[in-house]
A and B are shown apart, each in its own frame.
Chain A
Amino acid sequence: MNATTENITTTIIDIGKDFSRYPAGRYETDGPFNGELFRAKFLVPVLKNNKQITIELDGTAGYGSSFLEEAFGGLVRLGYSSTQIKTAITLHSEDPSLLEEIEEYILDAEQG
């Protein structure tokens, strides 16, 4: 889905619809809907091509910390800074603790 505002095109990814309603696991060896795969499929291309994306987080059955940490904290380990990540990726959820948790993973990964 694309939302256009003043010539800036932002892609909206709904994890529950576009990836899986049942995300789980950290690495590709863990299972089919893991954090590493989500990162490679949806997040890395956005950062590589200097695009912007909005991630809708609420359409799933839930998230384990391994999935979230690998998907978002894993971007830092690939060499992207927290500023680059925050500029490119907007997170949306009705649960503020989920947004805080993801931000914490990104900042913790940056601190090593």
Chain B
Amino acid sequence: MRRLNSDDRIVWIRLSNKREKKRLKRSNPHHNRRKSKKPLATPPSYVLKAPEIFELIGGKNHKKLLEFIGKFRDKVLIQKKRVKIDFSNTKRMVVCGTLLFFSELNRIERELGSLNLVSCIPPKDETVSQVLKHLGILKMLNNKSPIIPERSDVINWKIASGEITDATKVGQILEAQSKLPKDKSKKLYRGVSEAMTNVSQHAYMDLRNDGAKIVDDKGWWMFCREEDDHIFVAFCDLGVGIPITLPKTMEENKEENLFTAILQKLFGSDKNKYSDGELIRAAIEIKRSRTQKRHRGKGLLDMIKAIETTQGGRLTILSNKGGYMYNPNETKPSEDIKKYKDSILGTLILWSLPLNWTTEVKS
């Protein structure tokens, strides 16, 4: 063994001291590396109060729900902030409003990969809790509520969704509705499958006006709910909306003259700006017009066909800031147009059919 000279000895002692310091550092419970293993403090969530009623037809409910959805989308999808939805005051979930919220959640989840940024305070209302659990919304919002959906008016909500025109699940749901006669089921299938085709062909022709700039936006969502005396079928897409797609498709098909003529016939010649509701109404009238090229299909007329012979049936089309309601009556069908302050940023179609088939309207 070689003897160390004095220089070697100094180097050796320094090295030993260094090693000892490192050993002590490692065994110290307050060592930095241990500190770094501690989870980072989670930034506080922005608490967002959910509306009392998830509904879209009435003006006040429409406004409150859209404000809530808009804030939620802005915080989570655009700003990537943590959000806690407070459902404690929510007392009613209506098909159309719930479907829009469900569709938005799904779209945001698909875009972000997960909804890890979102949590929730569950509802106090038992039925609302069961609805949110049954639809999978509580799970999406990372809530492990042990509640079991068992109410008959909750478990009869059925869901279908997709990105293309594949109506298999929709057809299966409609055919499984025990109180729905076959001919009515076929008419509803006609309406929904045509709505789906519209989604494939037009709904996502441009960027949605929500600032998210999602290039490959797509998808449709459907709810079906059978009650004692009514069946509700709702279909939603989060595309650019009929008031945007209609003028574009008319222009593409070189049918601007027909478009202008119908708008003038319906709403007068002195207007230079039409409301979204008026544009939805015009879209239906264009489909009724014999002068339109027939191979374009009947589209929106198929949606009316689903309820047009049923007394008490109702079709509602909401698109962007507009609403159109059609009621077949014994004497003359009634049509209403609604103008809302806020946009649903998409299209939602709702069919409501009574399940007592005593009165048929002559077509």
Give residues in A with beta carbon < 8 Å to B: 20-27, 29-34, 60-67, 69-70, 73-74, 77, 95, 104-105, 108-109, 111-112
Contacts and interface: CB of A to CB of B under 8 A. Distances in A.
Most buried by A among B187, B191, B302: B302
B167 A22 contact: yes
Contact of B302 (A29, A31, A65): A65
B298 interface: yes
A64 B294 contact: no
Given A34-B165, A65-B299, A29 B200 contact: yes
Given A25-B200, A26-B201, A61-B172, 12 more contacts: A24-B193, A25-B164, A25-B165, A62-B186, A62-B188, A62-B193, A67-B193, A73-B294, A73-B295, A77-B295, A105-B294, A111-B294
Contacts of A22: 166-168, 170-172, 193
Most buried by A among B168, B187, B293, B299: B168
A70 B187 CA distance: 19
B225 interface: no
Contacts, number: 109
Nearest to B191: A64
Most buried by B among A30, A64, A70: A64
Nearest to B199: A30
Contact of B194 (A20, A31, A65, A109): A65
Contacts of A67: 193, 197
B185 A24 contact: no
